[in-house]
Amino acid sequence: MRVLIIGASGGIGSALAGEAAARGAQVTALSRQHDGLDVTEEASVAHHLGALEGTFDAIWVASGALEIGPHGPEKSLRDLDAGAFAAQFALNATGPALVLKHAARLLPRDRRAGFAALSARVGSIGDNRAGGWYAYRASKAALNQIVHTAAIELARTHRQLVCVALHPGTVATAFTEKYLGRHPAVPPPEAARNLWSVLDGLSPAETGGFFDWAGKRVAW
C-alpha cells in the first residue's frame, strides 16, 4: 500500500502518516516546513507532485489553517478583512484544488483508492448556528464544493475512487490550542485512527460526500 500525505508536518498530518506506517504502508510525506511544498503556489504543487511516480492507494490533504498572520476568526461583520479572506481561500480551498489537479494522475484507475481532504464542521452551511468565523467557514465550504465537484469528474475515469471531505473533530494540536476549552478534544494519533477508519469504511457509492470522524454525514 502506498500513501501520500500533503501537510505531513502538522499535528494531524504527521499522525496520519504515522498510522499509515504502522499499518505497513509505504508513506510519502510532503509539507512546506520539511520539503518546501507550498500548496498556495501552483508551480510548487506541480514540481513536487510531478516528481512522484506510480500510483497511491490513498492521498490525504491535511494542510490548512484557522489563523493566518495577524487575523483570527471574525466575531462580527465589522472584523472582515479582504486580505484575510484571500489568505484563507488560498490555503484552505485553492490549495487542495491544486493538489487534486496535479494528483489525479497518481490515483489508480483499476482498483479502489481514497482521496481525502480535511475539512471542518464549521464549513457546513446547514449546521451553522453560531455565526462568525466568516473567512474560515467560507473557505471550508468552498473546499467541500471542490471535493464534491472533483468526485463527480473523477468517477468517470476512476470508478472505484472514494473522494471525500472529512471533519476530524476537535484535535489537540497547535492549530486548535487557543480553542480547546470549547469542545472535547482528542490527541492526534486517535484522530488519525478515526479518520483512517472512516476512509476505509466508505464505498465508491459515497464518493463526493462530507463525513465526520465517526463516519456520519455532515450537512452541506
Q: Per-residue pLDDT tens for 53-94?
A: 999 999 999 999 999 988 999 999 999 999 999 999 999 999
pLDDT at residue 172, as a whole number: 86
State the DSSP string of 114-159.
EEEEE--GGG-STT--S---HHHHHHHHHHHHHHHHHHHHHTTT-T
Instruction: Tell me what the pLDDT averaged over the chain comes to.
Output: 95
Of 88-102, 160-174, 205-219, the one with minimum mean pLDDT is 160-174
Does residue 185 or residue 16 have the better pLDDT? 16
Q: How many residues does the chain have?
A: 220
User: How far is 154 from 107, CA to CA, in rounded Å?
Assistant: 10
**DSSP letter at 6?**
E
- Rounded alpha-carbon distances, angstroms, from residue 174 to 52, 64, 96: 30, 12, 21
Q: Where are the domains of the chain?
A: 2-212
Q: Per-residue pLDDT tens for 168-196?
A: 999 987 655 565 566 678 999 999 999 99
Grid coordinates given for 114: 481514497
User: How far is 26 from 8, CA to CA, in rounded Å?
Assistant: 14
Question: 83 by DSSP, 3-state: which?
Answer: helix
Q: How many CB atoms lie within 10 A of CB 141?
A: 21
Domain 2-212 sits in which CATH superfamily?
NAD(P)-binding Rossmann-like Domain (3.40.50.720)
Contacts 24+ apart (CB under 8 A), 69-76: 71/135, 73/132, 73/133, 73/135, 73/136, 74/132, 74/133, 74/134, 74/135, 75/132, 76/132
pLDDT at residue 175, as a whole number: 57
Minimal CA–CA distance to 187: which of 204, 165, 171? Answer: 171
Q: Per-residue pLDDT tens for 118-176?
A: 999 999 999 999 999 999 999 999 999 999 999 999 999 999 999 999 999 999 876 55
Grid coordinates given for 197: 477508519
pLDDT at residue 173, as a whole number: 74
**DSSP letter at 91?**
I
